[in-house]
Chains A and B, each alone.
Chain A
Amino acid sequence: MMRGGEMIDELDDLFASAKAAAMQPSDALMARVLSDAAALQMQPVVSVPVRRRGGCLAGLAAVFGGAGSLVGVGSAAVAGLFLGFVQPDGLGSVADVWASDTVDQVELMPQVDALLAEE
């Protein structure tokens, strides 16, 4: 029988010794592994206030439902001011059709004396 054949039986003994003599992780390695685990573990979600870009104008746009709406409202305001100052001729004729009589005095708070006198 070849010598390798003889050694086969002793190999199991060597393997058992090797198993018992396996390298054990050091405390330092254990600490490094746990540190890695902690660093990679799912982090709790922290809500960070998002800083809005654009400041007041962006906030105003948000109130009106977006920048497009804000432009529309702004244009209408400017047009109203313009018409108020300029008072074009056509505007007077429209007012004539609507209220043709000249009004000298408008009683905004009518007195109740007349009603009381009738009783």
Chain B
Amino acid sequence: MPRDTLAELADEALVVLYANGDPDAARLLTKRLLPRVMGYAGRMLSDRVEAEDVAQEAMLRLWKVAPEWRQGEAKVSTWAYRVVTNLCTDRLRARRRRRLDALDDVAEPSDGAMSVVAGMIEADRMAALDGALAQLPERQREAVVLRHIEGLSNPEIAEVLQIGVEAVESLTARGKRALAAILSGQRAALGYEGAE
């Protein structure tokens, strides 16, 4: 199929084409999905190597499931977010079990060090956000990241997390409040002190 025509197709149609042996379909799906999958895994894990492993595994599962893919049942992106959520959850739980959670180092910077820095550079701001996200309960973290960083709608998040839309609204609201409470002590370091 011509590439111009392929580019107009939905992800679901591309999965079917891939299953039928179209090599360009895989390339286009990877181009569309991999950045989203990688970005989400990276935000959840705060570790590039682990995020790449998760992203590759999620795409691998897509290639495997492609022959049985039934159009109309689920959006490919929603399915991919669900797979990444589960893979990240497994890895984060394993980290906790091993007591090697590198995020803890980021989540609990010494107050002294933070107050000395007048303004964080962007990477440090993101590290602070990641650290704060890591302190949220699992479901709240997933809902907040999917809603506010990945930009999914509440019904889409409900499908990813396999819960009701009302539960999503509650999780995102509570998660955002908790995040604000965690980060409130770092306002100056985040560059917000004196902004009002």
Binds A, one of B95-103, B110-118, B121-129, B152-160: B121-129
Do residues B18 and A17 form an inter-chain contact, with CB atoms below 8 A? no
| CB proximity of B105 to chain A, nearest CB, Å | 19
A interface secondary structure, majority: helix
| B52-A25 in contact (CB<8A) | yes
Q: In the complex the two chains form, is A42's CB within 8 Å of B67's CB? A: yes
Query: In the complex the two chains form, is A23's CB within 8 Å of B129's CB?
Result: no
A110 to chain B, nearest CB (A): 75
B48 at the interface (CB under 8 A from A): yes
Among the stretches B3-11, B53-61, B82-90, B135-143, the one at the interface with A is: B53-61
Is the Cβ of B21 less than 8 Å from the Cβ of A41?
A: yes
Contact in complex: B180, A40 (CB < 8 Å): no
- B residues 170-193 near A (Cβ < 8 Å) are 176-185, 187, 190, 192
Question: Once bound together, how far apart are the Cα atoms of A33 and B21, in whole Å?
Answer: 16
Q: Which chain A residues (1-54) contact chain B, with CB distance < 8 Å? A: 2-8, 10-12, 14-15, 17-19, 21-26, 29-30, 32-34, 36-38, 40-42, 44
Residues of B within 8 A of A44 (CB): 21
Q: Is B148 engaged at the interface, CB distance under 8 Å to the other chain?
A: yes
A side interface size, CB within 8 A: 33
- Chain B window 26-63, contacts with chain A (Cβ cutoff 8 Å), 1 for yes, 0 for no: 11011000110011011100001001100110011001
Whether B149 is near chain A, meaning CB under 8 Å from some CB there, is yes
- Pick the contact of B35: A7, A10, A24 (CB < 8 A): A24
Residues of chain B at the chain A interface (Cβ within 8 Å): 18-21, 23, 26-27, 29-30, 34-35, 38-39, 41-43, 48, 51-52, 55-56, 59-60, 63-64, 66-67, 122-123, 125-126, 129, 148-151, 176-185, 187, 190, 192, 195-196
The 7 closest A-B pairs by CB, nearest first: A23-B42, A22-B39, A4-B181, A3-B184, A37-B26, A7-B180, A4-B180
A25-B55, A26-B52 given; 9 more Cβ-contact pairs under 8 Å: A4-B184, A14-B125, A19-B149, A23-B51, A29-B55, A36-B60, A37-B29, A41-B21, A42-B20
